[in-house]
Amino acid sequence: MFMFAFLIYKFRRRHLSLDDNIEEFLQNHKSLQLIKYSYYDIKKMTNSFKDKLGQGGFGSVYKGKLKRADGQDFINEVATIGRIHHINVVRLVGFCIEGSKWALIFDFMPNGSLDKFIFPKHENNTPLSWERLYKIALGVGRGIEYLHQGCDMKILHFDIKPHNILLDEDFTPKVSDFGLAKLYLTDESIVSLTKARGTMGYIAPELFYKNIGCISNKADVYSFGMLLMEMVGKRKNWNALADHSSQIYFPSWIYDKFDQDNEKISVKKMVIVALWCIQMKPTDRPSMSKALDMLECEIELLQMAPKPTLYYDVLKVEDQVSNQVGVPILSLNAMDTITLTGR
């Protein structure tokens, strides 16, 4: 089984040379050895796009099935993609480009995305143990670290969140959806942006400067910190519909609810690392490698981070009145229904 991200674009005249650019790219990166499928093949594999799994950053995601004969060819081909393969990053199998019809083909993840297991609305799923969540956190961190340091080109993801963390049959996490990602050279430490990108509640505060300019991989570290907090708090960090008079800053809520004496060691580590990762200033956050070291070290070696403060207290943002920038907030009405202990 495979997961298909089918992307449809309406191109203007200036995009007519895109096919040539893609062919040139593939010629220059033959080591990828990706399989190129026809649109007819993709339509047949997905039973005319019948089984929609969800929505990604660049298009809809469908479930499809290759023929048995194709499966062996796929195994032989994908074995050569070692340059961009990591156990905690979703694996690109192939692609289709025919005019305005685009498709990317990835391994199918039977357990779906992480959000189904950590948010209360998905009551039919069996809750994951703290140890399982801790292992998932480590896997996600390793996947992000690989993107930052392990590839031929550095990759900034810009959209780390539970919905984009897929789980295989063994609950091994896979970072997915690179629709907003930026690539840059290994000898560079920053990328240049002209506007913010990402999902409300996970976007690093520096992305809301009026003149964004240069951004480092610490933006992904911030998103990882918010993801850890949601894994521990079992609650989305941002509520766009909440009454503004009854809101509390989500990281502050986690900080206040955290009991260093009674929590499990894995929970303590996740909370402490998360609080360091969501520091307002990028220079105060650890690198992804350092965050992993902190997650794996002895709890006695970890220093508690300072209590987090609202964006508004530290940064000048585009909108200082409403919550358009996606400050991570909770409705006060929900406070009594959530606990960090249990499982």
Active-site positions? 159
Integer Cα distance of 290 and 122 in angstroms: 33
Q: Kindly report the backbone phi and psi dihedral angles of residue 123, in degrees, each rounded to the nearest multiple of 5, phi listed first.
A: -75, -15
205-217: burial string, b at 16+ Cβ within 10 Å, e else:
bbbbeeeeeebbb
- Separation in Å, CA 319 to CA 43, 210, 311: 44, 10, 11
Nearest C-alpha neighbor of 106 from the set 125, 84, 122, 128: 84
Q: Show Cβ contacts of residue 30 under 8 Å, excluding neighbours closer than 6 positions.
A: none
Amino acid at 60: S
Q: How deeply is 98 buried, as exposed, middle or buried, from its count of CB atoms within 10 A (0-12, 13-18, 19+)?
A: middle
Residues 291, 275 contacting (CB under 8 angstroms): no
Amino acid at 243: D
* E strand segments, the chain: 2-8, 35-36, 52-55, 60-64, 92-98, 101-107, 154-156, 165-167, 173-175, 182-184, 190-193, 213-216, 247-249, 329-331
Nearest C-alpha neighbor of 285 from the set 231, 225, 238, 202: 225
Residues linked to residue 216 through DSSP beta bridges, in sequence order: 190
- Our CA angle for 201, 207, 211, nearest 5°, is 150
308 CA to centre of own chain: 22
Q: Which two tokens stand for residue 51?
A: 């089984």
Integer Cα distance of 8 and 59 in angstroms: 7
